[in-house]
Structures are given as C-alpha cells and as structure tokens.
Amino acid sequence: MKTHNLKRLFASDKLKVGHSVFEFNSPGVGQIIAAAGVDFVFLDMEHSGFGISETKQAIAGLRTGNIPALVRPPSNAYDHIARALDIGADGLIMPMVGSREEAEHIVSCMKYPPMGKRGVALNIAHDHYTPGAAADVLAAANKRTALVALIETVDGVSNADEIAAVKGVDCLWIGHFDLSCSLGINGQFDHPDFLKATRAVKRAAKKHNKALGRLSSDAAGAIALYKEGYDVLCYSGDLWVYQQALIDGIKAIRSGCKPRQSRTTKTGTRTLRAGK
C-alpha cells in the first residue's frame, strides 16, 4: 500500500484540490471520492461527531481509495495530535493557530526525536502495520507528515509571519468563517478588515514559500481563489455536496411535474393517474 508524503505534495507548485468529510463514514467513501480525482481529504474531528475510532475507520476507508488523510484534531493537546497520527493521518490541519510558540508546540508533538517528542509505537496503523527498522521508520515519518496551520483568529493574522517561519509548518490555511467572527464582522468576506487580514496571511505564506489554503463551497469560488494565489483548495464537504444535490434534484422534479388535469365522474371530480 502506498505511503503518502503530504509534505512533498504541499511543497509542490501544482494545484492541490481536496474535499472535506464531516458526516459520512461508509467503507466506500474513499473509493467514491477517489473517482473524483482529489489530491487529499480533509477529515474533521473538531466539528463532526467523529471520535478516535470513527476517524481510524474513516482513514482505513480512504486508504482503499489511495487518498491521503489530512485530519483536524479537536485541539492542540498532545494526545489529540499524537493519536490522530498513530491511527494513520498523513498530516494534520490544526485549528486556531495563533502564535509561533503554538506552532512550535504542535510540531514538537507531531515529530519523533530528535525533531520532537512524539511517543513511539511501531507496526500499527500509521506505518501500515508493516515491520521495519525503527530508525528508518521514524525518520521517514518525520519527512512525510505535514502540518497545516489554520489562521482563523486576529492573533493568527498578527503572527502569521512568525508562524509561517516555523520549520515543520507546510501550509497556511485561512479559516474564513472563524476569522471573520474573530474580526467582529461575522460572514462579511468582502469587508475591508477581512481582505486586509487575508492579504497579511498571503504575504507570510509567499515570503516563507509555504502553501496557501482555503475551503470553497463551490467550484467558481475555488477558481477565483486560485487566481488570487491559493494553491491548496478544498471543495466543499460531504454533507453539503449531498444536501445541495438533493435539494436541486427534488426542486427540479417538483418544478417539472405540473398538476394533473382532473375529470368529472359520476361520483365527482378525481385526478387522472398514470395507468388509469
């Protein structure tokens, strides 16, 4: 089974397109998503109902589709970080990173010695249950495990340059809804303060040669973001794609099915039905 290198993916100049999973954990999801040709899946533990066991199952399903898993733990606590990696996450997208010190703490929790302090458990999910020389396994994990820092607070924007400078941070990702709320302009993505904040994050990513990411609810929005300089684009999420497709389909059916003509019978008026 292929071992993915998300650090290499995020360091590349190519467009990286992903999809988020917040709701569904069917064994077939990985293969279904793979058919769309995505580069990674953003698997959420912060806002979903996924616990550690469900996340482990989801990652196993993504592996059937040969898709790398970028997991968002619920916090930056050591056990949340290390366990997400132990169950097979190829990278982490960490919420509300606000300072250089916090980014360094996350890197330390993610990386094995001498780069960090992550505890060692071998031949489990993170290394595909495959035996190997310990020194080689640990070094390889340090080289491939990626860190995406979510910049979604005023502090994160103020310290974006220092966060981007931390060795081990591979991508700055603007959490646009939380950032707008932190700025006091909930959901106002055209507000001058929001635009000023995003420009600061873009400058930091460019200065330190880090990838720049954001989620978009639609394809047109993602294309517009790419033109602005974002190279890691996450297209919507499982429940929203399903929900919108269902809404559109039901709406189209109701719109296209006009009321039937009625006819008068000896017993009154009744509606004509197919086959009657």
- Catalytic site residues? 47
**270 touches 263 (CB < 8 A):** yes
3-class secondary structure per residue, 253-264: HHHHCCCCCEEE
Tokens of 244: 């919108």
State how far the Cα of 112 lies from the Cα of 105, in Å rounded to an integer: 13
Instruction: Name 42's bridge partners.
Output: 20, 70
Q: Two tokens at 167?
A: 């060795």
Question: Tokens 């505890």 identify what position?
Answer: 119
Q: How far apart are CA 67 and CA 59, in angstroms?
A: 9
Q: Are 96 and 152 in contact (CB under 8 A)?
A: yes
Alpha-carbon gap, residue 160 to 118, rounded angstroms = 25
Q: Are 6 and 70 in contact (CB under 8 A)?
A: yes
Q: Tokens at residue 101, please? A: 């010190």
CB neighbourhood size of 121 (10 A): 11
Strands 69-72 and 40-44: parallel
What is the number of alpha carbons within 13 Å of residue 79 lying toward its C-beta? Answer: 2
